[in-house]
Amino acid sequence: MKLQRKSGLRALAVGAVAVSGALVLTACGSDNNNEASGDSTASPAASSSSSIKCADKGGQLLASGSSAQQNAMDAWVKNYMQACNGAQVNYKASSSGEGIIDFNNGTDSFAGSDSPLKPEEIDASKKVCKTGTGISIPMVGGPIAIGYNVSGVDNLVLDAPTLAKIFDSKITNWDDAAIKKLNPDAKLPSTKIQTFHRQDESGTTDNLTKYFNGAAKDAWPYEHAKAWAGKGGQSAAKSSGVAAQVKQVNGSIGYFELSYATANDIKTVKIDTGASAPVEATAANASAGIAEAKVVGTGADLSLDMGNAYVTKADNAYPIVLVTYEIACDKGNKAETLPLVKSFLGYTASEEGQAILSDAGYAPLPAEIATKVRATVAALA
């Protein structure tokens, strides 16, 4: 039976992110966030009162995939291995596509992906999940920031159609009437807009263009994709490259994970969603946006339809969001690694595991979604 339940308890979402900080999501194909910040984020140590439930026999767990969750995984792995003697967890940050291939080839016990499994990937998973199928389990989420560099403009508001037209070279100057309408008090220069997009295929691009498809379909005539499709603009490699160009070039605008804006002191656009006030890109606001999503997976699958998040008018709900998933078998997991998979993913989904995400630069899952994730992990077989 297909689930169509709205995961929309925004109050719970806000509670879940009370400790949230700046997001460090680097989507599939983007670079390590430690590079963005200029130093390594120390993984929080497991406390002496840790509630981690270790697997009885320990063992070795191999996993790979999206670099979106690399810093979160680094923190989780360190804490888990400190708490569980004899357990070794190896997560290789590569890309979502590579992780799913490794998983479906039986190399990895789970994979990380910045989007849920596609139908053909689910079919392929049945070969490795002998009595079941691969499922998508959301684990980490947060905002994609729109960074800008315009002399004399410290507070910029844009809406989805205007933003889409800027990135498709349909709006080419900062004093365009559409931008003026959204920023009546700003001193907008006639400077030419310099847009920057990703040179490499990227989950960040895919999720930004999903937002354009959902919130500004008439202004963005392309399908969402990891490869950039908009007209004009300049490309740069990885999120760090886009951020570097925006920081250096007056009149520029680009998109990247929030950590790159924070680390480089880049101003970010507030989004006019129709809420009582424009919404800033923060981890807490992104989590409130994600809480607008619907669970649409079948059976144990928890794939999210983000359509409601893209068009939400709820106060303090940021609409340009990214969610990363863990890919695992609902049934038919390898007997020798199943206890360790359930133990480790049970920790990452737990209140304790989610609570440390802010220290690693992420936002915890909204409470209602996290509850479903915990039940799904506990039922893996």
Interval 211-251: pLDDT, tens: 999 999 999 999 999 899 999 999 998 888 999 999 999 99
Q: How far apart are CA 111 and CA 97, in angstroms?
A: 9
Count the neighbouring beta carbons within 10 Å of the beta carbon of residue 18: 10
The structure tokens listed for 205 are: 């691009």
Per-residue model confidence as pLDDT tens digits over 86-118: 999 999 988 888 899 999 999 999 999 988 999
* pLDDT above 50 for 321: yes
With H, G, I as helix, E, B as strand and everything else as coil, classify residue 158.
Answer: strand
- Nearest Cα to Cα of residue 314 among 349, 286, 333: 286
Predicted confidence band at 37 (pLDDT cuts at 50, 70, 90)?
Answer: very low
* pLDDT above 60 for 157: yes
Alpha-carbon distances of 184 from 81, 167, 170, 178, rounded to whole Å? 54, 22, 21, 10
Predicted confidence band at 29 (pLDDT cuts at 50, 70, 90)?
Answer: very low
Structure confidence at residue 23 (pLDDT)? 37
Q: How far apart are CA 328 and CA 158, in angstroms?
A: 39
Structure confidence at residue 95 (pLDDT)? 80
Structure confidence at residue 15 (pLDDT)? 39
CA count, 13 A, side-chain hemisphere, 238: 15
Mean pLDDT calculated for residue range 318-327? 94
With H, G, I as helix, E, B as strand and everything else as coil, classify residue 96.
Answer: helix
* pLDDT above 50 for 3: no
Average pLDDT of the residues of the chain: 87
The partner residues of 313 in beta bridges, in order of sequence, read: none
The structure tokens listed for 20 are: 């949230």
Per-residue model confidence as pLDDT tens digits over 53-70: 999 988 999 999 987 688
